[in-house]
Structure 1
Amino acid sequence: MSQLHSFAMASRPSKKRKLTPPQSEDEEASSRSTVKAQKAFFKNASSWDLEQDYETKARKGKKKEKESTRLPIKLADGRVHQVHVPVEEAASVASDEDWLDGDDASEDEKSEDDEPAYMEPDIPEQQQILEAKEELARIALMLNETPEENSGAFRAIAKIGQSRIEAIQKLTLATQLAVYKDVIPGYRIRPAAENMAQEKLSKDVRSLRSYEQALVSGYQNYIKDLARHAKLGHKQQGAKSKGPSLANIAITCACTLLTTVPHFNFRSELLKILVSKLSKRIVDDDFNKCLRAIETLFQDDEEGRPAMEAVSLLSRMMRARDYRIDESVLNLFLHLRLLSEFSGKASKDRVDHDHAGPSSKRQKQEKKFRTKRDRKAMKEQKALQKDMDNADALVSHEERDRMQSETLKLVFATYFRILKARMPHLMGAVLEGLAKYSHLINQDFFGDLLEALKDLIRHSEEDEEEGEEDDNDYSSSSVRNPTREGLLCTVTAFALLAGQDAHNARADLHLDLSFFTTHLFQTLFPLSLHADLELGAKSLHLPDPDSSAPHPASSTARNRVNLHTTTVLLIRCLTSILIPPWNIRSVPPLRLAAFTKQLMTASLHMPEKSTQAVLALLADVGGTHGRKISALWNTEERKGDGMFNPMSDSVEASNPFATTVWEGEILRKHYCPKVREGVKIVEKAMVHGR
């Protein structure tokens, strides 16, 4: 038994150790690539956003992804080999393994997907412009024919304008302007309600609302594009390009929309584009276009709200710029239509309305008895009329008066701030505006304005003599003229008094305009020697070659406020003093005689037309007050003792009746026949005057 066991042990083969077969070159390369991929995986894992990538990943069909169910295979040499899924099936598997060995493939796919976006340079630019023209014309034709059925065309036109070619952008802006001018309705579209989808509406009404919202959305994006291009105006002006720049076209489109469809939505955004351009220092064609557009808006405004919005934006812009603006911007207030139709009185912070008392009594007297049925019918009729007025966009008188009041307060507040700050280049515009709207100024505000005008006259000559330099941007181009400023202040003061109830104003406020009368009397001789007395803002003349200054101080070439010549301003001042329209009989004889003698002396030195104007004024004075001053033409009727002092500090202290008018004998020999004839008319009026 033991021998049998030993034989069996001897015949059993010896146990062999299992050795790992050597790796092939392919397996070594795959293992190295796996290690590199794992390193890259852990390195980039912190920057993944798997949720976002899963959300944006395209989903194909509703089939569920299946995992591989194939079992591994054991090879003859003992190795276990995993059967891989075919390439077509692996492409549809979404797992983290795609990020390991798919980086290069994803970059290739991204580059292939991005290639169509950069295919534009492959087509010649002229060909792209031609194709854009045809496409824009086709879309615009569809919108003009059936806009309700092609609401998506607004977005299609805007998409064409996203091209990087400037010519295509210009064509798109011009096409959108023509389209919106044609399709914009005559009413303002309200914003869509939040529960619009839950409302029960008919198919036609729902389709119309959808079209209106598409129109408003496209129009809003268009205005944003205009604002963006207009802001880039300075950068585009540096580049040399043929024709108008993109900023020029954008401003032109904004001006056209403001004047043609001011009732539609986003009017404030259009006004902001124009006001932003008016705040710049450069006065160019675009600047003038914005001025003309706002002038047209003011003149054609019958509602009141557009003008109020424009004045509010302009006043805020002026305050932000510290009134360092061009003079023509402030002159826009002179074109306000509604201020000439306003019936109340206003100041910078208060408005007094004229309340008609008798109308309420008349309504009480005309009240009649009505039955319950009649009152119910009248109530329904009023409600129906209110709805009709809202549909027609009519503005009630109360609402219109309120908007006019706000506009008037803004205008007067702006004028008063500039007057207090004494901005040199804006004084003419302020005085002209105050003179025009004098009938709308409250009496409480009237006294403050007169004090400001007196202060301006006192300091104008002092600032000119001291050569005070203002760090105003327009100080170099704007020349101060104290003589003209004094005349404007005098005209404004008497225009303010003429616009009020003169008797009540004098009694309540104790107003005294003798300061302006004395100032004008003292400046008559310097004015008669003024070289540019008859030159206006648009007159062409050569500068004085003997003047040391590059620009003559008395030049009116830069004056864009009051186009009247200095002679016209002088005649207006003298008319208000000698023949006041509010009380023609209240002028004292000493004042009449002093001004008459002074004017006859000054007419000897004036140019031809100015002399004719002065003589015509004196003829009117003689026809009204001839008996009071006829003694000046007769030596035997001299009433005064002493000597006449034309340089007196006051008009009454000049002793005018101590002299005679001898200048008429010289004017009879004037070279101009009209002057000679004017002297005869004056003498005749003085003799036969009332």
Structure 2
Amino acid sequence: MTVVPAVKRRKLSPPESSDPDSSASTLVGQSSAQDDFFNRAAGWNLEQDYEQRPRKQKKKEKESTRLPIKTAEGRIEQVQVPEVVPEDDDSWLGSEKESIEEPAPVQEETKVPIRQQILEAQEELARIASLVNEDPEEHAGAFRTLAQIAASPNFTIKKLGLATQLAVYKDVIPGYRIRPIAEIDQTEKVSKDVRRLRAFEQSLISSYQAYIKDLAKCAKARLGGVSEAALNVKQLAIACTCALLIAVPHFNFRGELLKILVGKLSTNKIDADFIKCRETMEILFRMDEDGTSSLDAVGLITRMMKARNYQIDESVLNTFLHLRLLSEFSSKASPNRVDKAPTDHDYGGKKPKFKKEFRTKKQRKIMKERKVVEKEFKEADATVSHEQRDRMQGETLKLVFVTYLRILNAGLPHLMGAVLQGLANYAHLINQDLFGILLEALKGLMSDAEALLTADENEQPEEEGSSESNRDSTRESLLCISTAFALLEGQDVARSASSLNLDLTDFTAHLYNILHSFCINPDLELSHKSLRLPDPHAPSPAWPTTTAPTVNIQTTTVLMLRALTSILTSRSVPPVRLGAFTKKLFTSTLQLPEKSTLAMVSLLINVTKIHGRKIAALWNTEERKGDGVFDAMRGDMEGSNPFASTIWDGELLRLHYAPAVREGIRGIERVIGDVK
């Protein structure tokens, strides 16, 4: 039998009725259903249904765990934590509620007392600092947190933040200078430890730079009419800068720290911050081993002086006397060049020939790579070679000499003493080119001082408050003379005699002429730091007591002894010059105070021990040399005829009220008596 497939049945839609009555009945049924729905909806209570709908219940209020605090008024209150109100679920009714409901009042946040903020800041700073000290590389992001706390508008919190950052950076900063990472190094594959170290170094550099900018901003702030707290922040910023410069002078951004200090030194106000910056510069100069920090500092100071037309305090110029090159540098220099000092490797003639060793191309390549590695090792170890130090110190010395020469040419009286003192200290480092220029400048200064002294003696005194009346010409001329002889002692006279005119007769003659005016100065043993009362009967005192003298390096007696020692203790002094000075010194000593008299007698003892045979005739009236009389007021020493007189002043000094002076005069007579 064959299988017959089943017939597929189809679902047929009911046939449309063509009867209009049936369609009309359908429409009537639909309309009646809608009418029933609207009739029932009119009786619904929508507000009651909405009220009975379930809602999310608010969470129970958490118990406050904060301790009560005591307010500034003395009341004890509990600090309330502001609550966060959750949003309602019926957000779809937002537009309707905004139009109907009134806006809810904004709850004010509870203000934390200042004392509580300070305590919390202290705890947070201490916690972060301890974490950084334990593992700096792990907590590299803590530097930025410290900076954020230090940016607080509260001055007390800002001071705490600056001081904490100072302590952290002093402990964390490595002993080497961090260089920027090159693009090649960034693409290279490195180990995890190296990548971690690099990330720490870059974070440290960026945070340290931001900290220095903050210090500079606080140090340069103008405090006209600002509270005392802001002034304390400025003082703390300068103190932090000084501490960083002394602790880590090798690290990055040293120039930015130096700019802060030099900016403070450029002011005319001498306060505690100014003295702090000046002492920091002096310490930096004494501690600098490689000369790089000193070169940067001297360069900034010289540029600042030039920009201000050298209207600065002379103590800033005296910081150059603390440079280590005064005792370490062995070459001679001028503003234009530095003469290399002879070393053990220098040869008188031609250099000896060394046998050249043959190396293959591969060996030369290996040697070249080895030199590069050794150079990197030296940089990593921060070793300073003698060549590099000498080069840095030579450049620093040239800047110092340029500054001294500019001040000498400008003729600034308030800096003349500091310049002359500096030139006397640097005399052994001056080459022949600069020596001749300095001698001419010193002769010009001495001539001006001599003209001023002559005008003071012959003419009426100038008006009060004038710059010339405040100048002490005797002190300036004495300092010029002592500086000139100090420069001469620092030169090799045997070599430079043929190329330089080493005639210092003008300096010697000027010193001889001012001996009488020197001995009647009442302030010989006083400096600008000495306490003394002004003369009530003097309408315009010659030595003002309200301001410091122009040249305030040493007392006048010390300057005179330095100049006389340089002239009279030399072995090549002519007898006539020795006799003229000896006779005039004995006469001037009768007018000096006790201490100055004792110092002058000690100098005369040394002179008689060295040149006893040349001046012995002054103590013997029967062995007079030459005819005529002695002219003490004659300016020409050789023409004053000193050996026509005798040392009768010694008899008066033997009756001096000071026992030490009487004993000194007896010692001079014993030395002369032993001369045969």
Shorter-chain TM range is 0.7 to 0.9
1:623 aligns with 2:614: no
5 Å-filtered alignment, 1:122-521, equals 122-235=111-224, 238-241=225-228, 245-356=232-343, 359=346, 367=354, 372=359, 382-460=371-449, 462=451, 465=456, 467=462, 479-521=470-512
Alpha-carbon displacement from aligned partner over 1:253-310 (angstroms, at most 9, x marks no partner)? 0000001100000000000000000000100000000001000000000011100000
Give the secondary-structure state (helix, strand or coil) at the position aligned to 2:497.
helix
Letter in 2 for 1:341: E
Q: 1:70-149 maps to which residues of 2 (within 5 A)?
A: 122-149=111-138
- Aligned partners of 2:407 and 2:415 also within 8 Å: yes
1:44-84 deviations in Å (ceiling 9; x for gaps): xxxxxxxxxxxxxxxxxxxxxxxxxxxxxxxxxxxxxxxxx
Tell me the equivalent position of 1:546: 537
CA distance in 1, matches of 2:517, 2:346: 56
Aligned to 1:77: none
Distance of aligned partners of 1:590 and 1:88 in 2 relative to their CA distance in 1, 3 Å threshold:
farther
CA distance in 2, matches of 1:380, 1:160: 49
The partner residue of 1:676 within 646, 659, 662 is 662
Counterpart residue number, 2:513: 522
The answer to whether the 8 A contact 1:233-1:247 is kept is: no
Q: Give 1:451 deviation, angstroms.
A: 1.3
> Which secondary structure does the structure 2 equivalent of 1:282 belong to?
coil
Task: Pick from 606, 615, 628 the counterpart of residue 642 of structure 1.
Answer: 628
Residue 122 of structure 1 aligns to a residue whose secondary structure is: coil
Which stretches in structure 1 are left out of the alignment for 5+ residues?
1-85, 92-103
Q: Is the 8 A contact 2:223 2:230 kept in 1?
A: no
Shift in Å at residue 194 of structure 1?
Answer: 3.4
- How far 1:590 moved relative to its partner? 0.5
Cα deviation 1:482-508 (Å, max 9, x = unaligned) = 111111100000000000012333331
Partner of 2:38: none
Q: 1:153 to 1:89 in 2, by over 3 A?
A: farther
Deviations for 1:196-231, whole angstroms, at most 9, x for unmatched residues?
542211111011001000001000000000000111
- Does the residue aligned with 1:637 lie in a helix, a strand or coil? coil
Q: What amino acid maps onto 1:185 in structure 2?
A: P
Q: CA deviation at 1:468?
A: 9.2
Does the CA contact (< 8 Å) of 1:481 and 1:554 recur in 2? no
**Aligned partners of 1:619 and 1:686 also within 8 Å:** no
Give the Cα separation in 2 of the matches to 1:384 and 1:408: 33
- Provide the aligned length of Structure 1 versus Structure 2: 574
User: 2:470 & 2:175 partners in 1: Cα distance?
Assistant: 47
Q: 1:608 aligns with which of 594, 617, 631?
A: 594
Quote how far apart the aligned CAs of 1:679 are. Answer: 0.6
Correspondent of 1:654 among 596, 617, 640: 640
Matched to 1:646, the amino acid is A
Q: Report the equivalent of 2:5.
A: none
CA RMSD of aligned residues (A): 3.1
- 1:532 maps onto 2:523 in alignment: yes
In 2: Cα distance, 1:363 partner to 1:153 partner: 63
User: Structure 2: which amino acid aligns with 1:564?
Assistant: Q
Q: For 2:188 and 2:163, locate their aligned partners in 1 and report how far apart those are by CA, in whole Å.
A: 38
Amino acid at match of 2:504: L
Q: CA deviation at 1:315?
A: 0.2
Matched letter for residue 647 of structure 1: M
- What amino acid sits opposite 1:329 in the alignment? V
CA distances 1:592-625 after superposition (whole Å, capped 9, x unpaired): 0000000000010001111111111111111111
* Native 8 Å contact 2:246 2:284 kept in 1: yes
Q: SS in structure 2 opposite 1:137? A: helix
The TM-score normalised by the length of structure 1 is 0.77
Q: Secondary structure at the match of 1:271?
A: helix
Moved more, 343-352 or 135-144: 343-352
Question: Which aligned pairs between 1:60-79 and structure 2 lie closer than 5 A?
Answer: none
Q: 1:532 and 1:178, CA in 2 relative to 1: closer, same or farther beyond 3 A?
A: same
Letter of the aligned partner of 1:189 in structure 2? I
Give yes or no for contact 1:308–1:407 (8 Å, CA) kept in 2: yes
Cα shift readout 1:132-182 (whole Å, capped 9, x = no counterpart) = 111111111111111100111111111112211111111111111011000
Q: Is the 2:290–2:388 contact (alpha carbons within 8 Å) kept by the matching residues of 1?
A: no
Question: Following the alignment from structure 2 to structure 1, what is the Cα–Cα distance between the partners of residues 127 and 350?
Answer: 61
Q: CA deviation at 1:354?
A: 2.3
Query: Contact conserved, 1:616 with 1:682, CA < 8 A, in 2?
Result: no
- Distance in 1 (CA, whole Å) between partners of 2:292 and 2:581 is 48
Task: Tell me which amino acid in the other structure corresponds to 2:422.
Answer: G
Bigger radius of gyration among the two: 2
* Structure 1 pair 173–561 and aligned structure 2 pair: CA distance change class (3 A): farther
Output the CA distance in 2 between the equivalents of 1:513 and 1:447.
12
Report if aligned partners of 1:623, 1:689 keep a CA contact under 8 Å in 2: no
Corresponding residue for residue 566 of structure 1: 556
Q: By how many angstroms is 1:381 displaced?
A: 5.9
Distance 1:392 1:556, change over 3 A: farther
Change in 2 beyond 3 A, CA 1:89/1:316: farther
User: How far 1:454 moved relative to its partner?
Assistant: 1.4
Q: Label 1:562 to 1:228 Cα distance change in 2 as closer, same or farther (>3 A).
A: same
Change (3 A) 1:460 1:556: farther
**Matched residue SS, 1:587:** coil
TM-score using structure 2 length = 0.79
Conserved 8 A contact 1:142-1:150: yes
Q: Aligned pair in 2 of structure 1 residues 683, 226: CA closer, same or farther (>3 Å)?
A: same
User: What secondary structure sits across from 1:297 in the alignment?
Assistant: helix
* Cα pair 1:328 1:561 within 8 Å, conserved: no
Q: Which amino acid aligns with 1:160?
A: I
Q: Name the residue aligned to 2:70.
A: none
Relative to structure 1, is the Cα distance of residues 177 and 210 closer, same or farther in structure 2, using a 3 angstrom cutoff? same
2:475, 2:551 within 8 Å by CA — same for their partners in 1?
A: no
Gaps of at least 5 residues in structure 2 are 1-89
> Which string of whole-angstrom CA distances, capped at 9 and with x for unpartnered residues, describes residues 111-152 of structure 1?
99xx9xx96x82211111111111111111111111100111
1:260 maps to a residue whose letter is A
Quote the Cα distance in structure 1 between the aligned partners of 2:191 and 2:603: 75
What secondary structure sits across from 1:160 in the alignment? helix
Amino acid at match of 2:294: A
In 1, Cα distance between equivalents of 2:431 and 2:464: 35
